[in-house]
Amino acid sequence: MTSPAWRTVVFYVSGHGFGHAVRQIEIINALEASADIEIIVRTAAPSWLFERSLRRPARLEPFVPDTGVFQVDSLRLDADRTIDDAAAFYGELASRAEREAAWLIRERAALVLADAPPLACAAAARAGVPCVVVGNFTWDWIYQRYDTPLQRHPWLLPTIEQAYALATEAWRLPMWGGFDSIARVTDVPFVARRSRRPSTEVRAAFGWPVTQPVALLSFGGYGLSAASRSPVDAGEFVLVTVSSGHGDVDLDVRGGQMISIAEASIYDRGFRYEDLVAAADVVVTKPGYGIISECIANSTAILYTSRGDFIEYDRLTREMPRYLAAEYIDHDDLFGGRWAPSLDRLRRRSAPTPAPRTDGATVIAGLVRARVA
């Protein structure tokens, strides 16, 4: 058997949004506490996200593994800044990979998982460590949308593609895009957080009504400040927001009720964010893999709006009606406060059947164990 000293698994996790971190946390939790597998996480995602959600030991190391997309807020991005930031980062890919390879060798890494920084693939190849890309997209696929800024950096996409080509394989999640340069790809089920608490318990704990429909607003860490500019008519729905102190939504609900929950209080009371998702009838959001997968796993409908010129949006919105009840609301109605018609239509819509598998974390954990056995 391989010596325990060589059973260190390193996760390189993009800090773009929360979705990458959330699904890798589920995979780490599925690995469970094991004396012969050490987990190290290199990421720019906020440490509190891991500290509140991890159920097994893992060493967190603040690290910038990629540049992602530059978000103005949850619904707007800056394509020029996105590509220029990526060019500055990947223009130094060789030296960054050399430093990371040396670090991986010092840490005696047995396996690298990347969601989905190309740097991890390049570094692992230099260190002689197998690397698996785990996610639903690759960054070359995301960036190819931005033709005009890419003209300033024609080498960028080939550089990223070449880095991904160094990966040993990919474990590809549903609703995917990219992966063209990775030779070996295995499709796996959704990785999703599933509530373990009864909805009645969650509603009682946070003062939600028992019988009235509830819509949970979920716009991640970038905020939605523009939504507060008009009174909101949500019809019969009670609106729930989670206050983190960063990009919070403060709505004027016309003729209805809004409940604000301090984010820390969710975890202080022994609950998790997915418990709120499961207890709500609808989640109001911009489409992202993390929130879509959670709504699928917890049988919650989605009211979604567009999120700017982001190619993943097209793929997600095309495929998600196969998996859950979904309704679109345009920015004029969202920011104008005309929510009731869309919420009412969504309330009458049933989720498609059969439900997809959402045990991807368990599947991937088994694959990890097999690779480091």
Output the domain CATH number for residue 233: 3.40.50.2000
3-state DSSP helix/strand/coil percent for the chain, to nearest 5? 40, 20, 40
Give domain status of residue 146, yes or no: yes
Range of the domain at 84: 4-191+359-372
Domain assignment present for residue 19? The answer is yes
284 lies in some domain: yes
Query: Is 85 among the domain residues?
Result: yes
Residue 104 lies in a domain: yes
Residues 168 and 287 placed together within one structural domain of the fold:
no
What is the reported pLDDT for 249? 58
pLDDT at 245: 57
Residues 280 and 334 in one domain: yes
Position 247 scores a pLDDT of 47
Do both 204 and 222 map to the same domain?
yes
Question: Same domain, yes or no, for 261 and 342?
Answer: yes
Q: Which amino acid is at 295?
A: C
Q: Are residues 250 and 330 in the same domain?
A: yes
Residue 354 lies in a domain: no
Residue 258 is assigned to a structural domain of this protein: yes
Return all residues near 115 (Cβ < 8 A) that are at least 6 apart. Answer: 11, 12, 13, 14, 20, 23, 24, 133, 134, 135
Is 370 exposed, middle or buried, given 0-12, 13-18 or 19+ CB atoms closer than 10 A?
Answer: exposed
The stretches in the chain having pLDDT less than 70 are 1-6, 34-35, 220-229, 245-250, 255
Residues 6+ apart with CB under 8 A from 57: 33, 39
| Whether residue 69 sits in one domain with residue 123 | yes
* Domain total of the chain: 2
Is 35 found in the same domain as 174? yes
212 in the same domain as 134: no
The pTM of this model reads: 0.92
Do 174 and 211 lie in a common domain? no
What pLDDT, on a 0 to 100 scale, did the predictor assign at position 1? 36
pLDDT score for 228: 53
Distance between CA 340 and CA 342 in Å, rounded? Answer: 6
Q: What per-residue confidence (pLDDT) applies to 253? A: 79
Res 215: pLDDT: 96
Q: Is residue 353 part of a domain?
A: no
My answer on whether 144 and 217 are in the same domain is no
Query: 218 and 291 in contact (C-beta within 8 Å)?
Result: yes
Verify that 34 and 170 share a domain, yes or no: yes
- Which pLDDT belongs to residue 5? 47
Q: Are residues 167 and 44 in the same domain?
A: yes
